């Protein structure tokens, strides 16, 4: 009886202490984003008061309703609300607004026994209301400070809308342009993905997660999602151990080291084991080997989908596999809430597994300051003043122009004079105010982007005649404008050529043609893989018709992936890769077209000569017959070259840069030594410019076959005409190590080649020997 009364007193004190409906609590919330140990005693004290049902509830995540990431929920809204009132739900997604978040949080804080606050999550991928360039585009800026800044603005807007958790960044290395979600990541290189992923994590999380302008980030998808066979979404992944560690895991290790709050596992299987149930990936590598203390959330329904994989016989079995493998939160599978309690009673899932997951979830809530104040993200003033501001749009414009890659500029067709007499702006994408927002545009308003046509008209002089012709309708509308098109296929116009004649007439009358071709926003994204990565619909016909009457054409390529633009490259003098650039797309493109900004973007992915080359990536390995000869061609194809049309790291400028004086402080080093490599970069042109100086290495002979070239560092510098700067890189074990035949990261003795240049095809090199 004494113990019973003591327990009642403890619970009463606890409930009073944590009841935050009327005032803030006195629990300290001073941790930074990477420190997960400050709250151990407090987490343990909460855990000790929880029933098994309440613990399992923390591992349950609901969607509030319809969502881009999956089918409509099969659970009734009323059932969900009742579970929340009882404290049997730990987090929700797709509740976005201060008013709605407060309502849901109040259900928990005013009705549940222990009053443990909820987490509120949303896919804030490249902005909430202010939309920045899609992640692949922004990666082309190679500007880590800018990328961190845009993520911090996205976090500020999300937090102002009541959210405290985003399912970003996606740091899947992807080498296949056919994969729809290539638009969501940092491209084909492990190193570039790593540093960009860390920049985004820093932007989202800041230095203190209890700051109400920051939110928890999520490194996804763990792991191998970008290696899906044939670029088909959700498809199987077959990679060996060494490829996994050297090519796929490095960005995730970097994210873990940076203190990312959460991980999301992926839909695919990895060599026969679904990632959601992959114990080696989640339990051994992530949580044990890397000693990472954050929260793992499943992707939408991925626990239940292990049945479709043929890996779980039913949902109960799937819950057992996922929990034991290390999936802490079940997003929209309803497997944990239905079966975990029974599995614990059967000793199929140990109570320690449940406790470990719940401790991680509670710790995150302490870090976010939610035990201090469950409504810290529910400020009407911040919601009114921190969203879609002039300052945010200014940064969005900067990100847009810095994400543009100049692919071709014959006879200096660019930049265009603002006093040019006449310009023809042609293409359905030119006056499109929606596609520039890209896919995964958060709460971006439909048709809210600055169009290319608007940007051009704003930039040119009053004497310039700007003529616009649509030329073609790219797609045939099948649903009302602005409606979520995630589950709806795009229908392309392949028959109606009636508008091409007008485009031809406009081109005939104009000095210069700005031709906007590429992709609708919904051609890329989740579930948007394609076997064809050329121009859809009648765009090729429009290109040929306009070119026949005016050869003075600049192609503005809008897309969410690298495309097959071989024909356009063959005939057109100017090409800009402008991706989907967000809210300020048109202004950013116009800044580059007319020379107010000298383009500095570099490709984060290789552009193919044709789709048959995919997957295509620069850091390939040599085969046993890499040479040219009578019977074996270097290309590996009989009907196409093997190399990229535009290689990884490529991007032109309106000025020129020379690289000279490549030197090493010494030509030999020990495995623990550090040598400095330096090179002089000079702006030999006539305008200011930025150059991304890239460092690559090649390990000639190793315990496993190594790539012919690997990015290991870069620096973005600004140079005035005639100015020279010395750029240096430290060559040490962090640059030279890899996951070896010994199944560990180490430096091996031998010769290494070091390359420095403006793209991955650079030939400027020197050699160093590791003793």
Q: For residue range 262-291, list pLDDT tens digits in order.
A: 999 999 999 999 999 999 999 999 999 999
Average pLDDT score, the chain: 92
Q: Dump pLDDT digits (tens) for 317-337.
A: 999 999 999 999 999 999 999
C-alpha atoms less than 13 angstroms from C-alpha of 194 in its C-beta half-sphere: 19
Name the band, by pLDDT with cuts 50, 70 and 90, for residue 16. very low
- The residue among 149, 262, 150, 138 whose CA lies nearest residue 209 is 262
Closest CA to 580 of 444, 383, 426: 444
- Distance from the Cα of residue 83 to its chain's centroid: 33
Give the per-residue pLDDT at 14.
45
Residue 621 has pLDDT above 60, yes or no: yes
Q: What dihedral angle (degrees, nearest 10) is formed by the CA atoms of 321, 322, 328, 330?
A: -130
Which burial class, exposed, middle or buried, applies to 304 when counting CB atoms under 10 A from its CB (0-12, 13-18, 19+)?
A: buried
Q: Taking 90 as the threshold, does the pLDDT of residue 487 lie above it?
A: no
Q: Which residue has the tokens 């057992």?
A: 320
Where do runs of H (alpha helix) occur along 140-261?
144-160, 190-205, 241-243, 250-257
Q: At CA 729, angle to CA 723 and CA 733, rounded to 5?
A: 175
Q: Where in the sequence numbering do the catalytic residues fall?
A: 299
Do strands 330-331 and 405-409 pair parallel, antiparallel, or not at all (unpaired)? Answer: unpaired
pLDDT at 354: 98
- Dihedral of CA atoms 537, 522, 138, 259 in degrees, nearest 10, equals -150
User: Running DSSP on this structure, what letter comes out for residue 671?
Assistant: T
Residues paired with residue 514 on neighbouring β-strands, in sequence order = 425, 554
CA distance 72 to 60: 17
Token output for 556: 């503005």
DSSP structure string for 738-767: EE-TTSSEEPPSEEEEEEEESSTT---EEE
Is the pLDDT reported for residue 559 higher than 70? yes
Angle of helix 144-160 relative to helix 390-402, nearest 10 degrees, comes to 150
Q: Could you read off the pLDDT of 123-158 as tens digits, one per residue?
A: 999 999 999 999 999 999 999 999 999 999 999 999
pLDDT at 628: 57
Give the long-range contacts of residues 495-498, CB within 8 A, separation 24 or more. 496/472, 496/538, 497/472, 497/538, 497/541
- Domains along the chain with CATH numbers: 2-384 (3.20.20.300), 404-600 (3.40.50.1700), 657-770 (2.60.40.10)
How big is the CA angle at 577 (ends 685 and 172), to the nearest 5 degrees?
A: 115
Neighbouring residues of 451: CB distance < 8 A, sequence distance ≥ 6: 430, 431, 432, 433, 436, 585, 586
- What is the Cα–Cα distance from 316 to 435, expressed in whole angstroms? 42
| Residue 77 confidence (pLDDT) | 78
Residue 521 DSSP label: G
**Which of 450, 456, 525, 487 is CA-nearest to residue 126?**
525
Answer whether residue 637 shows pLDDT above 60.
yes
Average pLDDT, stretch 532-551? 98
pLDDT digits (tens, 9 = 90+) for 35-49: 445 799 999 999 999
Q: 662 falls in which pLDDT band (50, 70, 90)? A: very high
pLDDT in tens, 169-180: 999 999 999 999
Q: 632: pLDDT confidence band, cut at 50, 70 and 90? A: low
Read off the pLDDT of residues 671-723 as tens digits, 9 standing for 90 and up.
999 999 999 999 999 999 999 999 999 999 999 999 999 999 999 999 999 99
pLDDT, position 5: 35
Structure tokens at 159: 């937090």
d(CA 247, CA 224): 9
> Range with the lowest mean pLDDT among 8-17, 21-30, 301-310, 412-421?
21-30
Tell me the percentage of the chain whose pLDDT exceeds 90. 88
pLDDT value for 483? 52
pLDDT tens digits for 564-609? Answer: 999 999 999 999 999 999 999 999 999 999 999 999 999 999 999 9
Distance CA 256, CA 285 (A): 11
Give yes or no for residue 52 having a pLDDT over 80.
yes
Per residue in 348-407, pLDDT (tens digit) is: 999 999 999 999 999 999 999 999 999 999 999 999 999 999 999 999 999 999 999 999
Instruction: Give me 574's structure tokens.
Output: 């100017």
Mean pLDDT throughout 730-743? 98
Residue 2 pLDDT exceeds 50: no
Residue with tokens 């900067």: 398
Q: For the whole prediction, is pTM greater than 0.75? A: yes
Distance of CA 705 to the CA centre of its chain: 29
């Amino acid at each position: 009886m004494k113990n019973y009364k003591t327990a009642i007193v403890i619970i009463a004190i606890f409930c009073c202490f944590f009841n935050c409906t009327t005032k803030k609590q006195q629990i300290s919330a001073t941790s930074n984003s990477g420190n997960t140990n400050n709250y151990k005693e407090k987490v343990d004290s909460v855990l000790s008061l929880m029933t098994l049902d309440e613990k399992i509830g923390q591992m349950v995540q609901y969607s509030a309703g319809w969502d881009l990431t999956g089918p409509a929920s099969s659970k009734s809204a009323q059932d969900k609300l009742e579970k929340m009132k009882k404290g049997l739900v730990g987090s929700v997604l797709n509740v976005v607004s201060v008013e709605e978040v407060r309502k849901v949080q109040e259900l928990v804080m005013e009705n549940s026994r222990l009053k443990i606050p909820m987490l509120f999550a949303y896919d804030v991928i490249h902005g909430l209301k202010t939309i920045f360039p899609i992640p692949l585009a922004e990666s082309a800026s190679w500007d880590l400070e800018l990328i961190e800044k845009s993520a911090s603005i996205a976090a500020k807007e999300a937090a102002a809308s009541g959210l405290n958790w985003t399912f970003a960044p996606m740091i899947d290395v992807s080498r296949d342009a056919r994969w729809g979600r290539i638009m969501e990541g940092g491209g084909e290189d492990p190193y570039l993905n790593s540093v960009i992923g860390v920049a985004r994590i820093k932007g989202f999380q800041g230095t203190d997660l209890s700051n109400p302008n920051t939110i928890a980030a999520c490194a996804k998808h763990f792991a191998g999602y970008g290696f899906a066979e044939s670029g088909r979404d959700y498809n199987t992944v077959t990679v060996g151990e060494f490829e996994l560690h050297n090519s796929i895991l490095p960005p995730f290790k970097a994210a873990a080291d940076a203190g990312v709050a959460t991980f999301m596992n992926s839909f695919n299987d990895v060599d026969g084991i679904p990632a959601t149930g992959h114990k080696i990936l989640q339990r051994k590598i992530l949580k044990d080997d890397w000693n990472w203390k954050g929260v793992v959330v499943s992707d939408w329904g991925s626990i239940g989908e292990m049945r479709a994989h043929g890996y779980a016989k039913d949902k109960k079995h799937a819950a057992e596999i996922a929990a034991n493998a290390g999936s802490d939160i079940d997003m929209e599978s309803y497997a944990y809430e239905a079966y975990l309690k029974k599995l614990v009673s059967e000793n199929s899932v140990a109570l320690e597994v449940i406790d470990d997951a719940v401790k991680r979830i509670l710790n995150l809530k302490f870090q976010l300051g939610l035990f201090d104040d469950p409504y810290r993200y529910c400020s009407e003033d911040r919601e009114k003043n921190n969203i879609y501001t002039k300052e945010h749009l200014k940064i969005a414009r900067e990100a847009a122009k810095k994400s543009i890659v100049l692919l071709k500029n014959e006879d200096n067709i660019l930049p265009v004079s603002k006093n040019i007499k006449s310009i023809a702006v042609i293409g359905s994408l030119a006056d499109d105010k929606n596609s520039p927002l890209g896919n995964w545009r958060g709460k971006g308003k439909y048709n809210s982007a600055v169009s290319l046509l608007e940007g051009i008209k704003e930039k040119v002089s009053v004497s310039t005649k700007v003529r616009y012709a649509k030329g073609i309708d790219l797609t045939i509308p099948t649903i009302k404008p602005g409606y979520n098109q995630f589950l709806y296929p795009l229908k392309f116009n392949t028959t109606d050529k009636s508008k091409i004649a007008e485009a031809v007439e406009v081109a005939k009358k104009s000095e210069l043609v700005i031709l906007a071709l590429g992709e609708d926003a919904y051609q890329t994204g989740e579930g948007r893989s394609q076997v064809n990565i050329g121009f859809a619909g009648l765009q090729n016909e429009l290109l040929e018709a306009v070119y026949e009457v005016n050869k003075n054409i600049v192609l503005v390529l809008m897309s969410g992936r690298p495309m097959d633009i071989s024909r356009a490259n063959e005939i057109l003098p100017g090409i800009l890769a402008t991706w989907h650039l967000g809210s300020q797309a048109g202004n950013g493109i116009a800044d580059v077209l007319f020379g107010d900004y000298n383009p500095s973007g570099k490709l984060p992915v290789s552009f193919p000569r044709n789709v048959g080359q995919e997957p295509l990536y620069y850091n390939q390995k040599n085969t046993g017959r890499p040479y040219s000869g009578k019977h074996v061609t270097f290309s590996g194809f009989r009907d196409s070259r093997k190399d990229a049309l535009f290689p990884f790291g490529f991007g032109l400028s309106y000025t020129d840069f020379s690289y000279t004086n490549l030197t090493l402080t010494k030509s030999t080093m020990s495995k623990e030594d550090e040598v400095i490599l330096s090179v002089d970069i000079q702006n030999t042109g006539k305008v200011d410019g930025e150059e991304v100086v890239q460092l690559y290495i090649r390990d000639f002979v190793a315990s496993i076959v190594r790539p012919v070239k690997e990015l290991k560092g870069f620096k973005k510098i600004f140079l005035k005409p005639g100015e020279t700067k010395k750029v240096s890189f430290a060559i040490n074990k962090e640059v030279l190590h890899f996951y070896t035949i010994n199944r560990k990261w180490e430096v091996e003795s031998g010769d290494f080649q070091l390359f420095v240049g403006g793209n991955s095809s650079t030939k400027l090199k020197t050699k160093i020997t590791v003793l």
